[in-house]
Amino acid sequence: MNREFDDLLHELKQSLKIAENDYDLNNIRSQFLGKKSRISKMMKQIGSIEPAKRPLFGKKINEIKQQIDSLIVSRADEIEQHQYEETLAKEQVDLTMPGVQPPVGSLHPLTLMRRELEDIFISLGFDVVEGYDIEDEYHNFDALNTPENHPARNEMDTFYIKASNTRPKQSNNRLLLRSQTSTMQVRTMENNQPPIKMVSIGRCYRNDKPDKSHSPFFHQMEGLTVDEGINFLDLRDILIKFARLMFGESIQWRFRPHYFPFTEPSAEFDIRCFKCYGEGCSICKQSGWIEIGGAGMVDTNVFDIVGIDSEKYTGYAFGLGIDRITMLKYRIPDIRLLFENDLRFLEQFR
């Protein structure tokens, strides 16, 4: 009998030695203590044993069962401890290692430009005014002295908003995405009497096919000064001051006569091409010059529309292409780079 128990325990110890996990331990438990185990079979033989010896036999069986159980439990503890140590070793943290750097963003070149422009014009005595992307025909065209049949009003050029839910159907003052920041000239003069000296930077929209130098949305900065005795020389003076502060003292510039419905006389403002310095290249379309904006003296019709006394006051207005100026300043060859949000491009503006 004892021999048999010794063999059993020996066999159990061998099995436990190679057990690695709960699955192995469960198998061992059912092999040594389950219904089909040798112990269970021995228990069943109790009936064939002399009645006087039965209690002792039963006691012995129970002892051996407990021994088997405690051997299995202690092996389970051992395995658990071992697994825990393995996990600790695997997950060890080296507190002296440098941390992981979180990715750091940078300001968009147009944001840098906006801030620089605002700083320059604030230093020249201008107020900064916020505008709206969604405007109406009145502020984008009518009040800017733009006739009904002007080509810019065409739906091929300007994005109109289907406004059936927001405006009465009959309204002939349709909503649109503003095509120029000049809307802010009107709004400023509607709400303020001279002296006025303001700039307003924002996004504009035109139905242009995207290419190197065109995008269906772009940015402009409007400038407006209205006071007694303002003349074209003041306008020329402020734009040259701006060009020097932005591009350096040696920048070359020129004005070309032009036409805008809301300024008279009007001009376009060019600066020397940053790429070829006048030789002629693909960026300046061989002209040696790059146009950065339009300007002129506020038309008396506009003063009449907004209710400013055109006998007493004169004023100048200008509109600068911010994307162009950004491209010039940072030598960006394609306007689309400004809107594609490619990190390889943006990261260069740290």
The residues binding ligand PHE (CB under 6 A) are: 180, 182, 260, 263, 266, 294-296, 317-319
Whole-number minimum distance, CB 270 to ligand PHE, in Å?
A: 14
Q: Which is nearer to ligand PHE, 180 or 314 (CB)?
A: 180
Whole-number minimum distance, CB 338 to ligand PHE, in Å?
A: 18
Whole-number minimum distance, CB 98 to ligand PHE, in Å?
A: 51
Whole-number minimum distance, CB 348 to ligand PHE, in Å?
A: 29
d(CA 148, CA 328) in angstroms, rounded, equals: 35
Q: Where are the alpha helices (DSSP H) in the chain?
A: 2-18, 22-33, 38-44, 54-90, 109-123, 137-140, 183-191, 232-247, 300-306, 322-330, 343-346
Whole-number minimum distance, CB 218 to ligand PHE, in Å?
A: 10
Query: How many other CB atoms are found less than 10 A from the CB of residue 297?
Result: 19
d(CA 50, CA 62) in angstroms, rounded, equals: 18
Amino acid at 296: G
Q: Which is nearer to ligand PHE, 188 or 263 (CB)?
A: 263
> Assign residue 125 a region: left if phi > 0, alpha if psi is -120 to 50, beta otherwise?
left
Closest CA to 239 of 229, 218, 225, 226: 225
Q: Which is nearer to ligand PHE, 109 or 319 (CB)?
A: 319
Q: Which is nearer to ligand PHE, 160 or 349 (CB)?
A: 160
The answer to whether 15 and 31 are in contact (CB under 8 A) is yes
- Cα–Cα distances (Å) from 205 to 33, 135, 140, 266, in that order, read 83, 11, 11, 22
Q: Which is nearer to ligand PHE, 15 or 180 (CB)?
A: 180
Whole-number minimum distance, CB 257 to ligand PHE, in Å?
A: 12
Q: Which residue is nearest to ligand PHE (CB)?
A: 319
Q: Which is nearer to ligand PHE, 246 or 295 (CB)?
A: 295
* Lookup: tokens for 321: 């292409």
